[in-house]
Structure 1
Amino acid sequence: MAPQTAPARQNLPVESDSLIGRDRDLSDLLRLLEADRVLTLTGADGVGKSRLALRLAAQATALFSDGVWLAALADSATRAEVATRICGALGITEEGRRDPLETLCDALRGRRLLLVLDGVDGVAEHVTEVGARLVASCPEVSLLTTGRASLRIAGETVWRVPPLPVPPSAEGAEPAADGAVRLFLDRARAAVGDYAETPEELAAAKRICRRVDGIPLAVELAAAWAGHLGAEAIDAGLAAALKGAGTGDQRNGHPRSRVLDAVVGWSCSLLSDPERALLRRLSVFPNWCLELAEQVCADAPLAEADVLDLLSALLDRSLITLTGEHQNRVRYRLPGPVREHACARLAESGEQEAVHARHTGRMIALAEDLGGVALSSRAMPWSERYAYWDRAWAEYDNLRAALHWSARQGRVRDGLRICAGLRPLWFTGCRFTEGQEWAAAFLAMDGGSQPAGDDGPGTDALRGKVMVHQAELSWPRNRFDDAAAQAGEGAELCRSAGDLGSVCLAKALLAMLATVRGGTETDPQAHRIADEVLELARSAGDLWHEAIALNVQGALAARTGAFAEAEGRFNTALMIMRGMDHRWGVGTTLTVQGTVAEAQGDVQTADRCYREAMDIHRTIGAFPELAACLAGVGRIAPRLGSVAQAYDYLGESLQLSHTTGQRDGIADALVSIAGVAAGQGMAAESARCAGAASALLENAGGTGPGSPRFPLSVDTTSPGAPGEGRAWWEEGRGLALEEAVELASNVAESGRMPRARPDPSPSSAPPRAALTPREQQIAELVGEGRSNRAIADGLVIAPATVARHVANINRKMGFNSRRQISSWVSRHSVSS
């Protein structure tokens, strides 16, 4: 059976402390979430919108069968980044030929979930577009967003998050009964284990909470100093700080934004000079770990050895927060208002450019480490090699920040170096749109001359390398003409610069493009180019590109029917990849080799290749490749004697492709299920699945690499009565994506179960107990000659639901077609 894992139902972070004073808000908001599909929490900075949204989402999990999912957008800048972050949060993989937003909408159309979009202020226009599309096309998706203002999406409900309630006066109710005071006391106890709640401290706490107008972040910042200052001293300090905060129409005389900034400034004024220096330098990070902070922030007056203690001090003051842990590294971030304050102080300090330059330099090093190791010919344990990918993913927000800074400052070479290094991440992670946009942006910029003392690659070499990588990213998007032009121009620049690895990659792309763009008549040209790549790679001692060239030659040989030659090329490439312990390369080669073996009818070799590749792709999270291998194992399982296992693997492949938004993968699974069903005599189900796959590919433009392997026509299914096969086919073509997936899932589910043997006696009584009342009703309608669509319209149910019932009737009765159901109905009255 295909090994499956129960899907997660949320990706919310673990809360580090308690949420105080929001019980009534949570109760009201939960009721709104049940009734309204778009709920926006608005309010001033520091008022607790994000914390409230996260707690609300956690409590709403039971309302959404497909879970609740958080996409943090605070550091996004473009529409592509917004869509990519949302897709990443949901585990949806970009399709090469489509706008990521279209893939997102298709993937979520049949799912019931809550999407939390936190921190939308900087990209409100893009979030409005994305949100409106999701609401219009995904009827079971709800949105929960946070920002300073509403998004103006149709049907949006806006909830303005108020500050926490504060005592009306010093002589009012018990302080501990007020939300703001309770928060102050809770955080003060966290700062000082034996915090004494004397009457004087409580009275001062009340004044503090009124003074900062109950703004939660301001209360927390004040309470964090309880271990060093008494409440009286904190109150006096805040009073002085707020005198310069300006005036406004708020109840305490100051606009809340100025109050919060004044409180942040007051807290920072109590820090030591090294603590203030570290805080302002940390503002260049969206998030960070200790090692990164030491590498970027350690400069006079800060010693690298002091950074840990200084971070701990800032954490104690609530000026930084923990976000979790990755690769055994604790990660931190600055709360938004604190980061804004620190950014302003960094600009005033005169060291902004130097700190950003160090940050960008570290990101360049990280990207170039990835680019150098990911495709290096040097043998190393796969876990060590893969760690570079994993680290780059952990720092992806910082890599984006460095790209944005380089673009704003016109630092062309820095941007090109990061783009060149991130090629393995963008390609294997299916970030085609984002990678191409960054590459195009920096290639279009003038300048980029090499500074004195810079021992990195030359500018022309960088441009050539990025052009070749841009061509590689164009390939999955079916932009073959663009890819060929980019690869050709890039190859010339790289050859002049002596970058033979990039020349090999460009030539390998051109060999594959020669076949895809021109058909079989260009095969001689493709073979010639592939031979050139192999010779060049061997002369340079480049094992990685030698293996790539062998794979290209193997694919070209298989295309012309030279399967023995193809097998030899693939085996040699595998030997090289295994020698380097490059699992991704091994998995990719095995997948292609399995496809060729399957086409030859060598099912034992195909099964072995698909299974080993499947394990590799599952481990590294390469979901489109994993789905393809699952489908391959499923297709050949009946030829190895296990139909039930075939449906296990095909069912998982279908659901994985559906969950990750891969229409090619869905079509591949549909065709494969159709083939297995046809072998079982399930002619109607087979034809409908194949018809649905045909329509899906036509709508998706699936004519390039990655499209399903088998031809799609009525002839691929078992024939029924004259014209019946065509009718079933057209029914399948008319199904919506969700209906097609449901149909195929039901076919796979029923196919796993043992099929009953039909009673040979024509006069046998119908087993009424075997069929449900609905199945009896549908059997009668089938007997009347009605199509699934007509039955669905009459019963007001989905055609896929009808198809599921028909499949169940066939399974229970041991039938193979609608004709047998009709014949049986004509002999026996199904109705009571």
Structure 2
Amino acid sequence: MAPQTAPARQNLPADSDSFIGRERDLSDLLRLLDTDRVVTLCGPGGIGKTRLALRLAAQATASFPDGVWLAALADASTQWEVASRIAAALAVAEEPGRGLIETLCDALSSRRLLLVLDSCDRAAGHVAEVGRTLTRRCPEISLLLTAADPVGADGESVRRVPPLPPPRSDDGTDPARNEAVRLFLDRAGRASPAGPVDADQPAVAEICRLVDGNPLAIELVAAWTGHLSPTLIAEGLAGLLAPDCGNGSRPPVVDAVLDWSHALLSEAERVLLRRLAVFPDWDLELAERVCSGGRLGETAVLDLLSALVDRSLVGLTGEHRGRVRYRLPGPVRRYAAARLADAGEEDAVRERHCERMALIVEELGRASVIGRALPWPERFGNWQRVIAEYDNIRAALHWAVSSRRVREGLRLCVGLRPFWVTGYRFSEGDRWSGLFLDMPGGPALLRGRALVGRGELAWARHDLGPAVRLAEEGMRIGRENGDTEPVVRALNVLSMIDLRVGAYDRAEERLAETLKMARDSGDLWNEAMALGSQGTLAARQGDLSAADTRYNTALMILRGMDHRWGVGITLIGRGTIAEAQGDLFAADRSYRQAMDIQRDIGAAPELARCLAGVGRIAYGLGATGQAFDYLSEALTLSHSTGQLIGVADALLSIARVAAAQGLECDAFRLAGAAAVFREGTGLPESRRPWPLHEGVDDPDPELVACWNEGRDLGFDAAVSLALAVADAARSPRPRPPAAGTAEPPRKALTPREHEIAGLVGEQLSNRAISERLFVAPATVARHIANINRKMGFNSRKQIAAWVSQHDGAA
């Protein structure tokens, strides 16, 4: 059996602090999530919305079989940023020719999951719009939002997050049992493990009352108990939070406590705190590179950062590749950003931040195409670093746009090109590149490379016209400036477009020039890519032997570089050629080697292609059960990531195997659905509407009806039917019952199967049966597949004849 890809069921961060109180809130909210699909936790900064949402999501996992998923939206400001963050959280890849929200809806349409959208304030309107689309199209998903105010989503149930109730001085209860006091004592215990905090509970209770039970304010104040007694803290806060004599109002609690805490910091700690505001999150190396300067040296950053963690001004978010990650709580980050602006340092620090991000993405760009041997873990490590810093990279892009720093923006776009292309972030890359290319200025070399990169993104999205224009313009600038790298890349993408449209002579000329330029400049990566394209060209022209030679040469180069991503893509091409040649063992080796690489990388579309290839070969080698295992996994993976092309390919492969097993009607339904999905991605329709029987001029009318039923199935129903067909085909099929001796259907089938068999006997279609019984068409299809399996039938005709033979006993 194929090794199954078992997806994770949540991406919630591990708790770095104990969760105190809110037991009643959690119970109420868990009940609310059972009845309301959109729940928004509202409240002022520091009230604990995010922490409550994360704890609630963790406890709700059992209610959502497809998991709970967090997308942080604090820095999102546009609809496509909201959609891309949700897609990244769910591992949904953008599909060429389709909008990302459309792909998200397909991926989530049948999944029961909880999507946590944190810090929606900046993009509230866009969150409401995306949420409206998701809840309308995906009836099983629920949304848990956090924001200062309601976001206006359809069906939104708003729950105001209250402060922790401070202890009352006149109710005679033990203050230590109060939730606010418990939180203070817990956090103070870490700040002053040997201190006599417990003995000063009246002062602690007074502190909790002064800060109105605000959890962040309590944590910030408790962090100072290693230096100040609760009595001194209470006295200081009493003056700070006293009502203003002029208007009788108090300052906002969190702002006042931050002012108080900030005043107690050393000057170096204040400098570091305000400079950290440029990061959504960070590690120590980033803080040292970006925040040092002036009298703040790199070597001092670690101790200062540790001190800010001790003061609860900086939080820990976990580790990535052995590096501890940090973040500022939302209210602290806003406070620090204001201090940074007041100090007149914002532009200088953001410029250093942008420069650091540019260096990281440029290293990715070099490692992606560098011709010399480079250990794959090191090469892939650059990719993983960009993933870890992607929120920082987005922040740098935003700053470069707002400051009209064209050069910096183009550097980022050029470096990110391989990440955007191979990471299926085509539209996001196109938008950022377009913003900077539309601005005047910037070095010609960068503009040429950015134009070609945007052309590659257009090619990946199947926008061939823009791809040609952008690649040709970038190539022109490259030639004028003697920059061969964009010229070679442009020639490669233009030749791929030629292959797509059938301009083989022009593709051959361009690939010959590409090879010469790549070899003259020692560009092994683009040489290998050109050889792979030449392999495709040879295959299209019918020279499969030459195609195999080109692929093998490309593989030799890529393996010498230890470039596993390139090896994986080329192996898929070689496997396709070997399969077309009928060399099933060579095809199987290629697909399996590529499959292992794609699993390690986590590229779902390519992995699904490999799984489908292995499944087809398994059937060709006589291993039908194994074929259905691999094809089912390919289908499930493509379905879960919303990939219409992958679903269509897997459906058609399952259909071919099922037809050979005698399940012709179901096979034609699957083929009809596959045709619709291919059309939905902009791919051309099959030349004949009968891919299973290309040589049949007059197909069976019943198969025609099945084909048309398949075209009406829909995404989830087609997948459900295919999995049911695969399950049925794996089971041993009994011999058809002899006429006059068969057991009546009423005894052989379940009551529901007996009911559906009777409706089939009335010549009703699956859709008509589903409307009659108020069930989904996919459910009807599964029952019919079970009837066929149990009774040894191959078609609806046989079911109807059997029902009729038994005088309506079914």
Q: What is the CA–CA distance in structure 1 between the aligned matches of 2:348 and 2:24, rounded to whole Å?
A: 48
Mean Cα deviation higher: 352-361 or 596-605:
596-605
Distance of aligned partners of 1:246 and 1:807 in 2 relative to their CA distance in 1, 3 Å threshold:
farther
Report the 3-state secondary structure (helix = DSSP H, G, I; strand = E; otherwise coil) of the residue aligned with 1:599.
helix
Aligned counterpart for 2:797 among listed residues 819, 824, 830: 819
* 1:474 and 2:458 are equivalent in the alignment: yes
**Cα offset for 1:67?**
1.3
Q: Indicate the residue corresponding to 1:209 in structure 2.
A: 208
Q: 1:220 to 1:248 in 2, by over 3 A?
A: farther
Give runs of aligned pairs for residues 75-154 of structure 1, distance below 5 A. Answer: 75-154=75-154
Q: 1:599 aligns with which of 559, 576, 580?
A: 580
Shift of 1:248: 7.0
What SS is found at the alignment partner of 1:70? Answer: strand
Q: Secondary structure at the match of 2:241?
A: helix
Q: Equivalent residue for 2:776? A: 798
Greater alpha carbon shift after TM alignment, 643-652 vs 749-758 = 749-758
Mapped pair 1:370 → 2:364: yes
Question: What is the DSSP-based 3-state SS (H/G/I as helix, E as strand, rest coil) of the residue aligned with 2:115?
Answer: strand
- Report the Cα offset of residue 711 of structure 1: 6.1
Letter in 2 for 1:344: A
Alignment match of 2:595 (pick from 614, 621, 626) = 614
- The residue aligned with 1:453 is none
Of the three residues 692, 703, 713, the one matched with 1:725 is 703
Q: Give, in whole Å, the separation in 1 of the partners of 2:461 and 2:182.
A: 56
Hey, what does 1:271 align to over in structure 2? 265
Contact between 1:246 and 1:254, CA under 8 Å: does it hold in 2? no
2:488 matched to which residue of 1?
504
User: 1:297-331: CA deviations, max 9, x gaps?
Assistant: 12232222221111111111100000011000010
Amino acid at match of 1:115: L
- Residue 607 of structure 2 corresponds to residue 632 of structure 1: no
How much does 1:174 deviate?
Answer: 2.4
- With over 3 angstroms needed to count, the CA separation of the structure-2 counterparts of 1:244 and 1:286, relative to structure 1, is farther
Indicate if the aligned counterparts of 1:674 and 1:689 stay in contact, CA closer than 8 A: yes
Mapping for residues 394-413 of structure 1, pairs under 5 Å: 394-413=388-407
- Structure 1 counterpart of 2:652: 671
After superposition, residues 741-756 of structure 1 pair within 5 angstroms as: 741-756=719-734
Matches within 5 A, 1:199-598: 201-243=200-242, 253-254=249-250, 258-448=252-442, 459-517=443-501, 519=502, 522-598=503-579
1:173-196 CA distances to partner (integer Å, 9 max, x unpaired)? 322232222211121112222342
- Paired residues, what number? 808
Q: Following superposition of structure 1 onto structure 2, how do residues 13-52 of structure 1 map, counting pairs within 5 Å?
A: 13-52=13-52
Select between 37-46 and 632-641 the one with higher mean Cα deviation: 632-641
User: Given that residues 170 and 203 in structure 1 are in contact (C-alpha distance below 8 angstroms), is that contact kept between their aligned partners in structure 2?
Assistant: no
Instruction: Answer whether contact 1:691 1:712 (CA < 8 A) is retained.
Output: no
| Structure 1 contact 70–118 (Cα < 8 Å) conserved | yes
Structure 2 gap ranges (5+): none
Distance in 2 of aligned mates of 1:80 and 1:128:
13
The alpha-carbon deviation at position 245 of structure 1 amounts to: 7.4
Match of residue 737 from structure 1: 715
User: What's the secondary structure of 1:641's corresponding residue?
Assistant: coil
Secondary structure (helix, strand or coil) at the match of 1:283 reads helix
Calculate the TM-score normalised by the size of structure 1. 0.94
For the Cα contact (< 8 Å) 2:578–2:587, is it kept in 1?
yes
Scaled by the length of structure 2, the TM-score of the pair is: 0.97
Bigger Cα displacement from structure 2, 750-759 vs 104-113:
750-759
**Alignment partner of 1:716 out of 681, 692, 701:** 692
Partner of 2:755: 777
Q: 2:94 aligns to what SS in structure 1?
A: coil
Alignment-derived partner of residue 456 in structure 1: none
Contact 1:247–1:254 (Cα < 8 Å) also in 2: no
Cα shift readout 1:459-495 (whole Å, capped 9, x = no counterpart) = 1010000100000000122211100000000011122
- The farther-off stretch of 218-227 and 202-211 is 202-211
Q: Which runs of 5+ in 1 are unaligned?
A: 449-458
- 3-state SS, counterpart of residue 142 of structure 2: strand
Output the CA distance in 1 between the equivalents of 2:245 and 2:510.
71
Q: Which moved more, 1:157-166 or 1:5-14?
A: 5-14
One-letter amino acid of the counterpart of residue 202, structure 1: Q
The farther-off stretch of 472-481 and 804-813 is: 804-813
Contact kept? 1:686, 1:717, Cα under 8 Å: no
CA distance in 2, matches of 1:581, 1:712: 43
SS in structure 2 of the partner of residue 41 of structure 1: strand
Distance 1:328 1:637, change over 3 A: same
Q: Which residue of 2 aligns with 1:454?
A: none
Contact 2:197–2:229 (CA<8 Å) still a contact in 1?
Answer: no
Do the aligned partners of residues 597 and 326 (structure 1) sit closer, same or farther apart at CA in structure 2, a change above 3 Å counting?
Answer: same
1:766 deviates by: 4.9
C-alpha change, 1:324 and 1:198, in structure 2 (3 Å) is: closer
Match of 2:677 in 1: 696
Q: CA deviation at 1:168?
A: 3.0
SS at match of 1:785: coil
Give the RMSD, CA atoms, in angstroms: 2.0
Given the alignment, which residue of 600, 604, 622 partners 1:641? 622
Q: 1:196 to 1:482 in 2, by over 3 A?
A: same
* More moved, 654-663 vs 750-759: 750-759
Give the conservation status (yes or no) of the 8 Å contact 1:687–1:717.
no
Instruction: Kindly state the Cα deviation for residue 812 of structure 1 after the two structures are TM-superposed.
Output: 2.0
- d(CA) in 1 for partners of 2:403, 2:245: 34
Counterpart of 1:324 in 2: which secondary structure? strand
What secondary structure sits across from 2:150 in the alignment? coil
Distance in 2, Cα, partners of 1:596 & 1:549:
17
One-letter amino acid of the counterpart of residue 71, structure 2: A
Name the aligned partner's letter for residue 364 of structure 1.
A
User: Greater CA deviation, 180-189 or 811-820?
Assistant: 811-820
Amino acid of the structure 1 residue aligned with 2:160: R
Q: Using the alignment, how far apart are the partners of 1:38 and 1:597 within structure 2?
A: 51
Q: Is the 8 A contact 2:192 2:226 kept in 1?
A: yes
| CA distance in structure 2 between the aligned counterparts of 1:721 and 1:665, rounded to whole angstroms | 27
For residues 125-184 of structure 1, the C-alpha deviation after alignment (integer angstroms, 9 at most, x for no partner) is 111111111121111111110001101122111111111101233775322232222211
The alpha carbon displacement at 1:447 in A equals 2.8
SS in 1 for 2:163: coil
Farther off after superposition, 20-29 or 467-476:
20-29
Residue 393 to residue 244, structure 1, CA distance change in 2 (3 Å): farther
Residue 451 of structure 1 is matched in structure 2 by none
Q: Would the aligned equivalents of 2:185 and 2:198 in 1 still touch at CA under 8 Å?
A: no
Take 1:103 and 1:277, find their aligned partners in 2: how far apart are those partners?
45
Structure 2 letter corresponding to 1:716 = L
What is the one-letter code of the residue matched to 1:222? Answer: V
Distance in 1 between the 2:507 and 2:247 partners? 73
Provide, for residues 373-417 of structure 1, a one-character-per-residue CA deviation record: whole Å limited to 9, x for no partner: 111111111111100101111111111111111111111101100
Alpha-carbon distance in 1 for matches of 2:198, 2:550: 81
